[in-house]
């Protein structure tokens, strides 16, 4: 690497401004940035690059789906608080208002020497800088008896869209007094409070439509995000409905049978009506295909989200191993802005400032009962480190909880317009 990014940013704004290099060779027209994945990381990075470079950079966004369904807020759809169509977003403005070349195709591999991305539909796209934001895939065999062919019988609903719809339909079709089982994932995974917000929303839905139904969580983790807040809320709103089996009682020792619709928790067989299997997770497949992973995740340098294994590739969001930030849409959006600034600086000589990151995760427990957790982060030599944090308190009054929920709706509108224009 010609330039030590960490030392470079560490010298401060003034030095960064003076020494911002023109790395890009002008031999083949405008510099090209390819972004793989059009979620909270990729769409934001593409939009900021196109917007801030004002035509100086060619931006291509590769994303297989034409309508993006956010994973965040999909639990509210399960609970009946949010419409499916309000989870869906189009890439139209990124193309029409920002001039981004939106390619609806699968990126299947990266030739890091030739600096090209291969597409499932044939052909390849060249890049000067590549940004990968592929989200998660599942670790095969992490829940014995389950694989992707079983995702209709036992949905994960941990990627937005059809799986979310399927799970909702199954919940609504549960027989009176039926049983919903969630197989919760081990750390680290996308959206730490997500499974527990989902439990809250399923409980809300069942309380309205099927109040004698039961919810069982088989959980391999000792503790989980916002645990005190969720448990307080479950006791208050859904008393007697939810049972969580933690690792001490075999919650980590689970086998499923999608044909029989049974879940074996440490030798005890549960006959279920809905089984929501959220498997262990790893970086989106393309990271592995491109040789950018160590273990299950892609290591990055928090100063600019550049891969620790390739100086021309930045990686964002859930797929990364970066340090303290949770895998969340908010985090990916925050990381995208730092990466876009760094890439633009490298390709056009624009000013580069020290990275700052933040995250807030809102969760809805019941009607107008919202809570949140968040932190601010800055990179150091080792990792992206938390510098301050907060979490909602148990026993907060109803007005504050309602305001928190309304704030989360404001955030949803804010981040989706920050992603899609």
Partner 1 sequence: MSKSSGLFISVLGGAALVLGVAYGWTSRDYRAAELAVLTDRLAQLEHSNDDLARRADQAFDLEARLATLEADLAAARQAVEDAKQAASQPVAAVADPVQQPEPDPVIADATGLEFGDPSRGEQVFAQCRSCHQIGQGAEDRIGPHLNGIFGRRAGAHDGFRYSDDMAMMGADGLTWEIETLNAYLENPKALVSRTRMNFAGLDDPQERSDILAYLRQFSASPQNIPEAAPTAQAREVELSPEVLAIVGDTDYGEYLASECKTCHQQDGSDRGIPSITQWPTEDFVVAMHAYKRQIRPHPVMQMMASRLSDEEIAALAAYFAKAE
Q: Using CB under 8 A, which of 12, 99, 123, 410 touches partner 1?
A: 410
Q: Using CB under 8 A, which of 218, 275, 315, 415 touches partner 1?
A: 415
Nearest 5 degrees, angle CA 22-CA 27-CA 29? 90
Quote the least distance from Cβ 183 to partner 1, whole Å: 32
Does the footprint of partner 1 cover residue 211 (CB under 8 A)? no
Q: Tell me if 286 sits within 8 A of 278, measured CB to CB.
A: no
Beta bridge partners of 276: 182
Strands 242-245 and 214-218 come out as: parallel
Radius of gyration for the chain, computed over Cα atoms and rounded to the nearest angstrom = 22
Does the footprint of partner 1 cover residue 86 (CB under 8 A)? no
Q: Using CB under 8 A, which of 163, 200, 320, 333 touches partner 1?
A: 333
By the 10 Å C-beta count (0-12 exposed, 13-18 middle, 19+ buried), 101 is classed as middle
Residue 403, number of CB atoms within 10 A of its CB: 14
Q: Using CB under 8 A, which of 142, 210, 360, 363 touches partner 1?
A: 360
Residue with tokens 């809250």: 200
Pick the closer one to partner 1 by CB: 104 or 356. 356
Q: What size, in residues, is the chain? A: 421
Quote the least distance from Cβ 287 to partner 1, whole Å: 24
Does the footprint of partner 1 cover residue 85 (CB under 8 A)? yes
Q: Return the structure tokens found at 24.
A: 């890009």
Q: How far apart are CA 231 and CA 239, in angstroms?
A: 10
Q: Using CB under 8 A, which of 32, 36, 48, 136 touches partner 1?
A: 48
Quote the least distance from Cβ 130 to partner 1, whole Å: 21
Q: Tell me if 357 sits within 8 A of 324, measured CB to CB.
A: no
Q: Which stretch binds partner 1 (CB under 8 A): 209-217, 251-259, 307-315, 334-342?
A: 334-342
Residues that bind partner 1 (rule: CB under 8 A) add up to a total of 34
Residues that bind partner 1 in the complex, under the rule CB under 8 A:
13, 48, 85, 330, 333-334, 337, 341, 351, 353, 356, 358, 360, 372, 374-376, 378, 387-390, 403, 406-411, 413-415, 417-418
């Amino acid at each position: 690497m010609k330039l030590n990014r960490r030392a470079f940013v560490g010298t401060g704004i003034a030095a960064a401004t003076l020494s911002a290099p023109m790395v890009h060779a002008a031999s083949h027209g405008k510099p090209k940035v390819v972004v793989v994945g059009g979620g909270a990381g990729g769409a934001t990075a593409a939009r900021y690059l196109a917007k801030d470079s004002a035509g100086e950079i060619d931006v291509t966004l590769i994303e297989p789906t034409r309508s993006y369904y956010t994973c965040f807020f999909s639990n509210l759809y399960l609970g009946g608080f949010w419409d499916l169509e309000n989870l869906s977003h189009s890439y139209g403005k990124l193309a029409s208002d920002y001039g981004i070349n939106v390619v609806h195709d699968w990126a299947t591999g990266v030739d890091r020497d030739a600096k090209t991305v291969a597409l499932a539909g044939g052909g390849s796209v060249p890049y000067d800088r590549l940004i990968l934001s592929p989200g998660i895939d599942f670790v095969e065999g992490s829940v014995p008896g389950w694989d992707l062919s079983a995702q209709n019988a036992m949905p994960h609903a941990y990627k937005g869209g059809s799986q979310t719809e399927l799970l909702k339909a199954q919940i609504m079709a549960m027989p009176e007094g039926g049983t919903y089982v969630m197989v919760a994932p081990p750390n680290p995974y996308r959206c730490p409070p997500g499974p527990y917000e989902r439990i809250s929303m399923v409980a809300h839905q069942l309380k309205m439509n099927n109040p004698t139904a039961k919810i069982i969580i088989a959980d391999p983790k000792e503790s989980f995000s916002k645990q005190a807040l969720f448990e307080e809320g479950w006791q208050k709103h859904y008393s007697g409905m939810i049972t969580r089996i933690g690792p001490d009682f075999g919650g980590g020792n689970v086998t499923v049978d999608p044909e029989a619709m049974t879940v074996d928790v440490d030798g005890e067989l549960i006959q279920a009506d809905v089984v929501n299997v959220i498997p262990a997770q790893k970086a989106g497949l393309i990271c592995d295909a491109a040789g950018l992973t160590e273990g299950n995740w892609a290591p990055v340098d928090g100063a600019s989200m550049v891969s620790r294994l390739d100086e021309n590739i930045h990686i964002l969001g859930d797929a990364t191993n970066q340090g303290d930030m949770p895998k969340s849409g908010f985090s990916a959006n925050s990381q995208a802005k730092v990466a876009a600034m760094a890439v633009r600086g490298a390709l056009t000589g624009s000013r580069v400032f020290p990275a700052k990151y933040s995250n807030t995760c809102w969760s809805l427990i019941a009607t107008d009962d919202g809570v949140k957790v968040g932190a601010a982060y800055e990179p150091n030599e080792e990792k992206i480190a938390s510098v301050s944090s907060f979490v909602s308190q148990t026993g907060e009054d109803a007005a504050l909880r309602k305001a928190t929920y309304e704030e989360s709706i404001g955030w949803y509108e804010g981040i989706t317009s920050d992603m899609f224009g």
